Amino acid sequence: MKNNYVKSTLEATVNLQIKESELLAHHTSFGIGGPAAFYVEVSEPDDLVSLLKATRILNIPRLIIGGGTNLLVSDLGFDGVVIRTGFNGIKISGDQRSVKVGASVKSAALVEYLVVEGLAGLEFAAGLPGTIGGAITGNAGCFGSSLGERLTEAVVVFSDGSPQKIVDNTWFDFGYRRSALHDIGAVIVEATFAIEPGDAAHLQEISAGHIETRKTKHPSLAVKTAGSYFKNLPAPKFAQRRVAAGSFLDQIGAKQMSVGDAAVFEKHANIVINKGSARAADVLLLTSQMAKKVKDTFGVVLEPEVRFVGEKP
C-alpha cells in the first residue's frame, strides 16, 4: 500500500485528520490490537459517505468501529483504514412514543436518560456495554429481551458510499446476536426505538436491579474485556430459553484457565479479560482451548460472539 498516496487522497476527500500507525489497543474495550495503517474519526454522516467512496476507489480494506466492544483485533493490526464514528444526540418524539438516537451514543447512557425521564421500553438494557450502533449490529440483549425487538427504523450508510437511507425493522433480519448489517455492508447513523410513558420510580428500580445483577457476574468498566466470548446455544425442544455457553464452560473448569495475561473472569466462565498486556494470540489460544474442552466433554461446538479482525497468527 502506497501510504503517502492513500493518506493524501483521503485528506483531500474530507477535512479530517488522518493518523498513521494508530494502535487499535487504544480504541477497543479489550485493550488489544496492533496498529491501523490509517485511522480517522468522523462525526458527520456525509464525511462517512465520502470516506467509504474513497476507500472503495482506492480498493483498500476499511473497518468501522464505534465503542470498540465485542471486538478482538489482531496483534498485527489492520492493514487498511479504521473509521471511528461519533454520531451522537438523543431526541424524544412529542408524543413520547419514540426516541431517535445517534449510533455512537452509549447504550447504558441512553437507557439511563430514558429511565430518568420516565420513559419505558429499553430498561432491560440497563448497564449494557458498547454503543447503540454496535448493539443493534449484534442484536444485543439481556434479561429475555433484545434491542431488535424495539427498533422501528434506522438511518444507514452503505459500504459503497451511496447516500444515506432509512430502513425499517424487517430490513435488519434480526436473529440471535446477529443482523443483516455485516452481510449487506452497512453502517448505522441513527436509530429510532419504540418507547412509552412509564413510572420513573418503578423504571429506576428495574434498571438498578439489572445493573446490580450485572455487577455480580460481569467485570467492572475498568476491566479490559470484550464481554461474553461465545454465543449461547439454541434452546432445546419444548424450551424457550437458549442454553448458556457459560454452563458448559463452568463444568470444564474454565474459570481457572489462562494464557499469558488473557484469563477467564473469575465470576463468569464465558467472559475473557485482559489482565494487563494480553495479546490477541493469547486470547485466541485460550478460547480455542476452552472450546476444545467443551467439545471433547459434551460434544457441543461453541461459536464465538466476539468478532476477530485482521490476520490470525
Does the global pTM surpass 0.85? yes
* Tally of CB atoms within 10 A around 139: 20
Contact indicator for 103, 188 with CB cutoff of 8 Å: yes
Residue 43: domain span:
3-85
Closest CA to 226 of 309, 290, 124: 309
The mean per-residue pLDDT over the stretch 53-68 comes to 92
Grid coordinates given for 104: 455512537
Co-location of 203 and 265 in the same domain: no
Active site residue 177: yes
The mean per-residue pLDDT over the stretch 92-106 comes to 97
Q: What is the Cα–Cα distance from 140 to 105, expressed in whole angstroms?
A: 15
Active site residue 228: yes
SS3 263: strand
- Number of folded domains that form the chain: 3
Contact indicator for 26, 73 with CB cutoff of 8 Å: no
Contact indicator for 14, 42 with CB cutoff of 8 Å: yes
Co-location of 206 and 226 in the same domain: no
Co-location of 81 and 94 in the same domain: no
Co-location of 71 and 119 in the same domain: no
The mean per-residue pLDDT over the stretch 26-52 comes to 96
pLDDT exceeds cutoff 70 at 107: yes
Q: How confident is the model at residue 240 (pLDDT cuts 50, 70, 90)?
A: low
pLDDT exceeds cutoff 80 at 91: yes
Active site residue 305: yes
* Residue of 177, 179, 214, 279 marked active site: 177
Q: How confident is the model at residue 239 (pLDDT cuts 50, 70, 90)?
A: low
* Tally of CB atoms within 10 A around 93: 12
Q: For all residues of the chain together, what is the average pLDDT?
A: 93
Q: What per-residue confidence (pLDDT) applies to 312?
A: 86
Co-location of 50 and 126 in the same domain: no
Q: Which of 155, 181, 213 is the last residue of a domain?
A: 213
pLDDT exceeds cutoff 90 at 237: no
Contact indicator for 40, 51 with CB cutoff of 8 Å: yes
Co-location of 200 and 273 in the same domain: no
> pLDDT tens across 247-288, in order?
999 999 999 999 999 999 999 999 999 999 999 999 999 999
Q: What is the CATH number of the domain that holds 229?
A: 3.90.78.10
Long-range contacts for 166-172 (Cβ within 8 Å, ≥24 apart)?
A: 172/136, 172/139, 172/148
Q: What is the CATH number of the domain that holds 190?
A: 3.30.465.10
Q: Per mean pLDDT, which range of 85-94, 112-121, 241-250 is the poorest?
A: 241-250
Q: What is the Cα–Cα distance from 253 to 276, expressed in whole angstroms?
A: 22
Co-location of 135 and 164 in the same domain: yes
The mean per-residue pLDDT over the stretch 68-91 comes to 96
pLDDT exceeds cutoff 90 at 177: no
> pLDDT tens across 112-127, in order?
999 999 999 999 999 8
Contact indicator for 305, 177 with CB cutoff of 8 Å: yes
pLDDT exceeds cutoff 90 at 2: no
Q: How many residues does the chain have?
A: 313
pLDDT exceeds cutoff 70 at 206: yes
Sign of the alpha-carbon dihedral angle for 117, 140, 65, 262: positive
pLDDT exceeds cutoff 70 at 1: no
Q: What is the CATH number of the domain that holds 26?
A: 3.30.43.10
Q: What is the Cα–Cα distance from 59 to 203, expressed in whole angstroms?
A: 49
